[in-house]
Amino acid sequence: MDSPACIVMTTASTEDEAEALAAAIVEARLAACVQVERVRSFYIWEDTLHREPEWLLLIKTLSSRYTTLEAFIRERHSYETPEILQVPVAGGSLDYLRWLASGSTGADQA
Please write the tens of the pLDDT for every residue from 48-101.
999 999 999 999 999 999 999 999 999 999 999 999 999 999 999 999 999 999
Query: For a pLDDT cut of 90, what percent of the chain falls above it?
Result: 92
- pLDDT (0 to 100) of residue 9: 98
Q: Where are the domains of the chain?
A: 5-92
Which band of pLDDT confidence, cut at 50, 70 and 90, is reported for residue 106? confident
Spatial separation of the C-alpha atoms in residues 31 and 107, rounded to whole Å:
11
- pLDDT exceeds cutoff 60 at 6: yes
Q: Is 110 exposed, middle or buried (0-12, 13-18, 19+ CB in 10 A)?
A: exposed
10 within 8 A of 73, measured Cβ to Cβ: yes
Spatial separation of the C-alpha atoms in residues 85 and 8, rounded to whole Å:
5
- pLDDT (0 to 100) of residue 2: 56
Helix (H) or strand (E) holding 39: strand 33-45
- pLDDT exceeds cutoff 80 at 109: no
33 within 8 A of 103, measured Cβ to Cβ: yes
Fold that domain 5-92 belongs to in CATH: Alpha-Beta Plaits (3.30.70)
Residue 13 is classified by DSSP as S
Compute the mean pLDDT over every residue in the chain, rounded to the nearest whole number: 93
